[in-house]
Structure formats: C-alpha cells, structure tokens
Structure 1
Amino acid sequence: MKLDELINKYSDNLNENDFMIWDYISNHRKECEKLVIDQLAYKCNVSRTTILRFAQKLGLKGYSELKLYLKLENQEAKENTSDMDKVCETYYNVINSIKQKDCTEIFEKIDSARNIYVYGIGMVQSSVKKELKRVFMTSGKIFYDLGGYKEAEFCLNSVTSEDLFIIISVSGENEFVNDFASKLKVKGIPIISITKLKENNLSKISDYNLYISAVTFDNKINNVKYDSITSYFILVEMLFFKYVEYQKEKERI
C-alpha cells in the first residue's frame, strides 16, 4: 500500500499537524527521502516525537519504515508525473486539512466580533477577500474589505479588541502586512491568518491560522511559471460549510 493510500485509510486518526507533515513530505519527496527525523521535524516546525507518532498513525513501525516507503515510491515514480495529478493531490490535501481542523474558536470569534475586517494586498488576496465576503454574506455575516496601505493605517485608529481581522497573505512574509498585524496584536485585536502551508512570520503573529497547499507549474507554452490559487477558494468554501454546521449544532443544544 502506498503512502497516499495510508493517508486515506487513516485520515480520521490524523490531526492538523499530521496533515502539515504530510503536505511537506508529499511536496518534497526526494528531499525527505534523505532527511533524518530531526531534520524533518525542523522543516515542519514540530517535534521529533510528532513525526514518529505521525508514522505510527499510518500503521508503520516508525520513521525508518516511513522513509523506506518513500524511497521505494520515489524509485517507482515516473519523471513525467502529470501536472493534473499534482494539482488534484494539492486540492485533496486542502480539503482534508480543513475538514479535520477544529474551527470552534474561530467561529466563536466571528460570531462575537463587533466588526470583521478582511485584509490583504495583491490580486490573489483581493479575489479571496471578495469570495470570503460573498459566501459569508449568505449567513448574515458582513466582512469589511480593506486594501492598500493608507486604508490599513487609518483603520488602526478606530478598531478595538471587539473587532476581528482576517489577513490573507501568500507568503506570510510581507513586511508591511506583518508590521500591521503586529500593531493589531498590541491593541489586543484577534487575527486569523490565511497563508501557504509553511512556517511564516504572519502565522506566528496571528491568533488562529488557516493554511492552503499550493503548487507552482512550469508553463511549457511560454516558459512562465503558473501558481495555482484554487486552493484558497476551496479553503473559503469548506470553512463556510463548517461554519454552517457549527451554527446548526448550536441550535440543537
């Protein structure tokens, strides 16, 4: 049985950290084949014990057996693995990650916030902000869209700890965005970050973290790299569905 199949088989036993570990391994298969357990733990920003438990949750004896599976699969893998397979696996990882994540505290913050602001700089961020506003509006939640630099600085004068910020960043390393997030933190304003699944400073500043798996393709037509951004929209829709379920569960209590 392949590692992908083991992930599917034991997905109910895996938590957010486990899916983060798998996301890194699946996107760096050749590299991880040669990493010792401490190196992989450092790459994934978790403890070596967490890596060991991840392997055991897949029914493996330990990390050595996990590496053996990975080495055998790398040998069998074709060099011309299709971009279609890569992107489908990326979408699957995002769906499973958010499906398994406990979002109760996030939803409590959304429900209790006086105002909810969505902030991000860039074309991708702008599209994701609009989608967040659109889907949550159907549940009666109004998200205020903030963009640019001056608008963010002006907003600092009026927001309070009763408000909530959702900050969208591809890398999580934009200097202005992180400085802005730090200022919000000083004022006690809760922050939810949406970034790529990797260690980044915005995630460290934020109170709650949502991640997407991303994949970049070499466009052989004109030699321009193409970044798939559909994962952001999958995350937004899955988050909304979980929010609807959360509200239904509250009504039953």
Structure 2
Amino acid sequence: MDLQELVNAHQSRLSDTEREILAFMLNNEEFVADSTISALAHRTFTSTSSIIRLTKKLGFSGFAELKFFVKNSLAGPTTPPIDFLESGRNDILTTYEGLMATDFTPIVQKIDTARTIYCYGTGFAQRTAIQEFSKSLLTCGKFTHVIPASTEFRGSIGVMKPEDLVIIASLSGETESALPTVRALASRKVPMIAITALGVNSISAVAEHALHYESTPTVTSIHTEPFHSFVTLSVLLDHIVRQYIQYLDLKEKDS
C-alpha cells in the first residue's frame, strides 16, 4: 500500500484541513520522507499537533512511523527474498527499523501509570507471545491480566476503564471477532496499544498507539496456506519490555 491508497482508505474520516495536508504530502512525498514534523507543519500552514492527529487517524504511532512508511513506498516493491531464511532475516531487520523510528516515551509512560493492563492476542501464536510478554512485565513489577479468548475479551468491556490499558496483538488487524470490542473500548476512551503486521488496518486506526511488525507470508512445500512467522512479534514485545526497563532505570536515577 502506498500513500495514495492510504488516503483513499480514510477519506471519510478526514477533515478539510487534513485533506489539504495530505494533498501537499501526495505532491511532495520526497520532501515528507526527509522532513521534520515542524518543517511539514510550516509548509502546510498548520501545527505539529494537527499533523500528529492526522498520523494517528491514518493508523500510525506518530510522524516518524509515517515518514518510514512514505520512504518505503517511494523505494517501490522490494526484490523477493532469495530463500526462506533470507525472508526471516528481512522481516527482523524491517521490524527493527520501524522500532528505531518510534518514540516509545508515551507508550512506556502509559504502561507505568495504568491501573490494570489487559493483554489479548487474536490467535494462538499471538496469545503465546502475549503470555511471555506478560511474564516479562511481571519481572518489572507490573502485573497484567491476559485475556484467553474472544468471548472473555468481549465480556471484559464493562470492567475496562480509561485509567486502564489494553494491549492487543493481531496479524492483520482486521479480526472480525475482536473489532466490535475494540471499537466499543475506543468509544469508552479506554487506552489501547495495537500491535499488528505492517500496513493500515482497523484495529490500529482506533488505538491510541500503534506498533507494527513485519511478517512476510511465504509459501512452502509443506504448507497449503502461506506461512507466517511470529518471531518479529516476539522481537517487538521484547523491545517494549526493554524500553520499559530503561524508562524505570532513568526514572529511579532522576528521583
């Protein structure tokens, strides 16, 4: 997906000012790829807060992730991996590039101040990764509640409050069983961190923060369906824990 397709997918949710910003971006993608948020605000006669709101409407965690998306789309389609092993390596490198372009400060602050952290994975692999993530946060002194299935996720809406935090891991970000619950939580102003594969999706679009991992579908001789590795999801979740530990260390030094 490129920037034009991204705009098309969100046209109905955009204000006139946001459409004007995007019109400039579509005509100046090279500038956006190397710009700062202040420079873009200056060129579009808007404010940095307007651009931040726009990036979140488009499903990104912030301007840095939008820049990364534009830069990748300008590079065009990448050469297919040489082999199955190379595909895994590329996925990890792409995931890390996105993580390095993300400001984790508001995310770890939200983890630190949340009354209760609810974690939910939409599939078996995502649930397994989320469970390990929960154990890692426990070693940091942060207790989380792992939700085991979609029915429990839906049934928890009434107890989740704005002072809590919901972390949801998905592949496509379009899991039909989860979408009504996610939208209900958004309407109740319950903070959410969406963790999905790269690309624009419905869950990321309504979450307060969105993080992405790369998982290239690969056809193998022993699978009838494309194979998705979730190693990069584990890498991303591990990075969140490391960012949180670093945040706690700095917080203790400053106190």
Distance change in 2, residues 1:49/1:115 (3 Å) = farther
CA pair 180-219 structure 1, distance change in 2 beyond 3 A: same
CA distances 1:102-142 after superposition (whole Å, capped 9, x unpaired): 11111111111110000123212211211211211111111
For residues 55-75 of structure 1, give each alpha carbon's deviation from its aligned partner in whole angstroms, at most 9, with x where no partner exists. Answer: 558xxxxx9xx97x869xx7x
Give the count of matched residue pairs: 202
The alpha-carbon distance between structure 1 residues 240 and 223, as it changes in their structure 2 partners (threshold 3 A), is: same
Question: Aligned pair 1:199/2:177, yes or no?
Answer: no
- Structure 1 unmatched ranges of 5 or more: 1-23, 25-39, 58-62
Q: Deviations over 1:62-99 (max 9, x none)?
A: x9xx97x869xx7xx6x771222222111011122213
How far apart, CA to CA, are the structure 2 residues paired with 1:203 and 1:147? 21
Q: 1:41 to 1:93 in 2, by over 3 A?
A: same
Q: How does 1:64-143 map to 2 (within 5 A)?
A: 81-143=82-144
1:175 aligned counterpart, secondary structure? coil
Report the equivalent of 2:164. 163
Task: Give the drift of 1:202.
Answer: 0.6
Secondary structure of the structure 1 residue equivalent to 2:234: helix
2:4 corresponding residue in structure 1: 42
In structure 1, C-alpha distance between the alignment counterparts of 2:28 and 2:147, rounded to whole Å: 38
Q: Which residue of 2 aligns with 1:228?
A: 229
Unaligned segments of structure 2, at least 5 residues: 8-21, 36-69
CA contact (8 A) 2:193 2:210 kept: yes
SS at match of 1:176: coil
Paired with 2:192 and 2:164, the residues of 1 have a C-alpha distance of: 9
Q: Which amino acid aligns with 1:51?
A: E
Q: What displacement does 1:164 show?
A: 0.7
**Per the alignment, do residues 70 and 232 of structure 1 end up closer, same or farther by CA in structure 2, a change over 3 Å counting?**
closer
| CA–CA separation in structure 2 for the residues paired with 1:150 and 1:239 | 27
Bigger Rg, structure 1 or 2: 1
What TM-score, normalized by structure 2, do the two folds share?
A: 0.70
Q: How far apart, in 2, do the equivalents of 1:100 and 1:81 lie?
A: 27
One-letter code of the match for 1:41? L
Alpha-carbon distance, 1:223 to partner? 4.8
CA contact (8 A) 2:168 2:195 kept: yes
The one-letter amino acid paired with 1:42 is Q
Alignment CA distance shift 1:70-1:161 (3 Å): closer
Matched residues in 2 for 1:70 and 1:113: separation? 40
Q: Which amino acid is 1:81 matched to?
A: I
C-alpha contact (below 8 Å) 1:44/1:198 kept by paired residues: no
Distance 2:207 2:139 in 1: 26
Q: Distance in 2 between matches of 1:127 and 1:49?
A: 43
**TM-score for both structures, normalised by structure 1:** 0.71
C-alpha distance in structure 2 between counterparts of 1:70 and 1:116, whole Å: 39
Amino acid at match of 2:86: D
Equivalences for 1:181-196 in 2 at 5 Å?
181-196=182-197
Residue 60 of structure 1 aligns with which residue?
A: none
- The question of whether the paired residues in 1 share the 8 Å contact of 2:92 and 2:232 is answered with yes
Q: Does 1:180 align with 2:142?
A: no
In 1, distance between residues paired with 2:208 and 2:27?
24
* SS in structure 2 at match of 1:110: helix
Whether the 8 Å CA contact 2:122–2:175 is kept in 1: the answer is no
Asked if structure 1 preserves the Cα contact closer than 8 Å seen for 2:167 and 2:194, the reply is yes
